[in-house]
Every structure is written in C-alpha cells, then in structure tokens.
Amino acid sequence: MNSAAPPSKDLAAVKGTKDILPGEVEVWQRVEAEAKRLFELYGFRELRAPVIEPTELYLKGTGETTDIVTKEMYTFTDKSGRSITLRPEYTPSVARAIVEHRLDLLGTPMRYYYIGPMFRYDKPQKGRYRQFHQIDIEVFGEKDPAVDAEIVEMADSLLRRLGVRGTETLVNSVGCRACRPAYGRDLKARAEAVRDRLCEDCRRKVEANPLRIFDCKVEGCRAEARNFPKITDYLCEECRDHFARFRGCLDLLGVAHRPEPNLVRGLDYYTKTIFEIVAGEGGQQNAVLGGGRYDDMMKDLGGPDICGTGFAMGLERLIALLDVKPEPRKFVYLIHVGEEAKTRAAVAARDLRAAGMEALLEFGVRNFKSQFARANKLGAGWALIIGEDEIRGGLYKVKDMATGDQKDVRPEGVVEFLRPRLEG
C-alpha cells in the first residue's frame, strides 16, 4: 500500500489481538527455542492439536461454570450446523488426542508440550489479550506428587534460563472428590451469608459453583473471598499426604515456594496440586504461569481413567518480563550494477544461502551508491560487489562494512572466503 493513511477501523487488527513484528519476533523465537530445548531434556515431545475443537470438549473438560465457558469462548456454528470453539486452553485438546489415538496404549511416556495461540473473549488490557499465546505442558498417567514438583522445577528452570528474576511460586491443594463436598457446603453457606456484598456475577456463582468466586477480579469480592473457609483445612488424608510430599520434593529440588490457601485457579478440573508463578507485585495479571493436577478430566471426557498434571505459561506476560535485545544479524548484502551483474548476484546469493549464510539481494533499480547506503543502513556485516569491472576482471569485491577493508575474491571463492568471517 502506498498511502500513508492508517487502514480504516474495519481493517485494523481485531481488538485484543496484535501483530508480532520483526524486531520483536526474534525474542519470541528465542524463548520458544529455549523452551523446546528444555522440555525435550525432561522427556517431553511436541503434540500439535487443531485450533478449532467441538464446543462440547470445553463444556465437559474446562467446566460449564468457569468464566472461560460462561463468558469467554469464541464459539460459532459451522456450515454443517456443528458448534465449534476456538480453543481457549490446551489441556482438553491433549486429553482428546490421547483418547482419540489411544496414545495411552503406546507405552511411551505421555509427556507433551505445545506452543501456540489461545482465544478468550476477555476485556483486553495490559497482559490480557483475546488472542494470546501459551506454552503448555502436560504429563498423563503419573500420580506421584514428585511429577508435580518436577514440572514446577522445569518451569522455574525455564524462567531462570531466560533471565527472569523476582518471581514467586505459589502452591495449594484443591483436594479431590472425596474431600471437596464438605468444603463446598461450608463455602456455600459462607458465600450465602455475604451474598449482598458480592458482584452480580458472583451472586450467581453462590448457587452454581462458589469456588469460582475466588476467580473474580472485583476487589470487593476478592476481599470477601479472603475470609472464606480454606480448602486446605478440609483435605482428606490422601490429599494432605500428596500435598506434603509435593512440597517436600520441591524443597529437595531447591524450588522456593509459598503455600497460598486462596489459590484455586479458574478451572473446574483441578484436583490436589495447583500452583502459579507470579511476577511483580502479585495479582491476576502478573501470573506468568499456572497449572496443577487434573486426575478426573480424562474420565469425565468419557476416556480411560488416566490422571494428568501440567501447566500453561503466557508468552506475552513472560516476554514482558524479559530484558533481551535481539542479537544483530550477520549477513551479506549483494550490490549489483547492470543486467549481467544482477543474475550473477542471484547465483552468488543462492550459493551463500546454500552454505548457511544469510544473503540479501534487492532488485529495485538503484545505482551503486544507493545500494551501498542500503547495506550500511540495514547493518550488513559484509557487502559483495558485482559491477561491470568485476565481471570483466573475473574478481568480485568483498567489503567488511565495519572496517571498510576490501578484498578481491574469485567468484567461486566467495563462499569459502565469507564462511569463517560470518560465523566468527
């Protein structure tokens, strides 16, 4: 587009979404590469599921009374009349894929990771988007609290490798189906007693699922929730023991953490362990990652009785904490003057790229001087100059843009000449 006018409002990016442009995307690539490398060291493998899923997956998996399902899903009916949802979270997709492909029968560890976009129709603000990106990891088929500790240690290790400092790890247990009913009764009674002081949304939650009041972002509701009964006072022996062993493992692995009895996380499927890593002054927007155990989810989806545990890390929030500048790229800018030089430059660029070097060639009609200025402006490490004299003499010029040193090199010797210089 030639016009300098911004696109009309109809054509601008959808509210709550954003473009990740060159200059910024290098940081994303670095974080993603680091995460993949680390997860593979822990035996995780990538599992890529579709962006769209049947809506029922989230009704059953995420939970019908969660904020995600009641308010935040991008749901539409496709041309066949089927209700489809853009995934708001990843765990149900992994559970579905395991059931669908019977991955549990393969005998391989069910440790999966994925990095990609999620969609929630939430109120956009700093750190909260409608299309955001998560690094998601899941372990299925492992009941031991040591696995919960192992994944928290893995998350902690990723943050440290990326140079993130000043985070806090909060842990809690939300119990299981044996210990939750008694807690649910007391919680409901207490919530009913303060119903008038809760927001409209939370008043509905008193009946539907009082645990979800803890997810409310309204300060008045949060203040009330701080005085609600604590789930940790209701845990059955098995859950209490699981939580104690989880914390013991974290200590052994050297992961500092703090129990937070009000932490319940916004999803219905959690059982026993839950955790969050927060940055800055705390609060919802500062949760860089959250996760926990979901021992009943697979069963609830109609699959085999396989337990699970995992976490999701928000990439936008993680990247906002990083203080990294992308490394300047080392590349060769090819300067060509004349028709024959243009085709020779194209061949030289192909050869450089085939040998693993970045080579940039532009075809706008420009003289030597303006191409040289471009090479400078773009920060090329080297310029390869091919003009009429160079073609006639059978020697190209290779110029070090930093020092200004220039050498004559035979065309077939260019790759050999530049390789050690670009790598060094």
Which of 18, 30, 36, 128 lies at the binding interface for ligand AMP (CB under 6 A)? Answer: 128
Helices (H) and strands (E) in the chain, counts: 15, 16
Q: Is 290 in the site for ligand AMP (CB under 6 A)?
A: yes
Size of the site for ligand AMP (CB under 6 A): 17
287 binds ligand AMP (CB under 6 A): yes
Amino acid at 5: A
**In whole angstroms, what is the distance from residue 396 CA to residue 389 CA?**
9
Q: To the nearest whole angstrom, how small is the minimum distance from the Cβ of residue 257 to ligand AMP?
A: 16
Nearer to ligand AMP, 90 or 140 (CB): 90
Q: Which of residues 86, 103, 250, 288 is near ligand AMP by CB under 6 A?
A: 288
Choose one: 27-35, 180-188, 284-292, 344-352; the region binding ligand AMP (CB under 6 A).
284-292
Does the protein bind ligand AMP through residue 129 (CB under 6 A)? yes
Contact between 289 and ligand AMP per CB under 6 A: yes
Contacting range for ligand AMP; rule: CB under 6 A; set: 57-65, 209-217, 287-295, 346-354: 287-295
User: Which is nearer to ligand AMP, 128 or 342 (by Cβ)?
Assistant: 128
Q: How far is the CB of 289 from ligand AMP (least distance, A)?
A: 5
Going by the DSSP 8-state scheme, the letter that residue 230 receives in this structure is P
Stretch that binds ligand AMP, among 1-9, 126-134, 188-196, 398-406 (CB under 6 A): 126-134
What ranges make up the beta strands (E) of 141-231?
A: 167-173
Report the DSSP pairing between strands 382-386 and 331-336: parallel
Q: Which is nearer to ligand AMP, 136 or 295 (CB)?
A: 136
Taking the least distance from each CB to ligand AMP, the nearer of 310 and 381 is 310
For residue 3, give both structure tokens. Answer: 């016009």
Minimum CB separation of residue 135 from ligand AMP in Å reads 9
Tokens 């993949």 sit on residue:
36
CB closer to ligand AMP out of 232 and 285: 285
Angle at Cα 218 formed by Cα 215 and Cα 224, nearest 5°?
75
Q: Which whole-number Å values give the CA distances from 168 to 115, 172, 229, 249, 289, in the listed order? A: 23, 13, 24, 17, 11
Q: At what angle do helices 414-423 and 339-354 cross, to 10 degrees?
A: 50
Binding of ligand AMP at residue 89 (CB under 6 A)? yes
CA 145, 150, 155: angle at the middle one, nearest 5? 130
* Residue 282 CA: distances (Å) to CA of 160, 166, 311: 19, 11, 18
Are 357 and 375 spatial neighbours (Cβ–Cβ below 8 Å)?
no
Residue 67 near ligand AMP by CB under 6 A: no
> In angstroms, rounded to a whole number, what is the distance separating the alpha carbons of residues 422 and 424?
6
CB 318 within 8 A of CB 288: yes
> Cβ of residue 52: shortest distance to ligand AMP, in angstroms?
18
Q: Is 312 among the residues that bind ligand AMP (CB under 6 A)?
A: yes
Positions in the binding site for ligand AMP (CB under 6 A)? 89, 120, 122, 127-129, 132, 134, 266, 287-290, 312, 314, 316-317
